[in-house]
Amino acid sequence: MEEYMLPCLTKKYFGFECMGCGLQRSLVALFKGHFTEAFSLYPAIFPLVFLGIAIGVNIFFSLKYANRIISFLAILSVTTIIVSYILKLTT
């Protein structure tokens, strides 16, 4: 699976990482069961996974508070992506 990963074009052409750098490697680590490695590679992996699960469950089952849950997880995901990107740039 690692040999089919796409390269980061932002890093390749501009020399700095984008906000999505590490997501593919993090997903591979998550599929292998390496949860701490997945988090260290891309801290927003867990909110994004829960967001995907919540959206998937909402498609098949009508949940009472689905909109609130999905909105919360989306905001948490975006916030985590932005904060971890800023921390990555400053360190």
Residue 1, pLDDT > 90, answer no
Q: What is the pLDDT of residue 48?
A: 96
Residue 39, pLDDT > 80, answer yes
Q: What is the mean pLDDT of the chain?
A: 91
Q: Is 9 left (phi over 0), alpha (psi -120 to 50) or beta?
A: alpha
In terms of Cα–Cα distance, which of 12, 17, 22 is closest to 89? 17
Q: What is the band of 28 on the pLDDT scale with cuts at 50, 70, 90? A: very high
The domain in which residue 16 lies consists of 2-90
Q: How many residues does the chain have?
A: 91
Tally of structural domains, the chain = 1
pTM of the model: 0.85
Residue 33, pLDDT > 90, answer yes
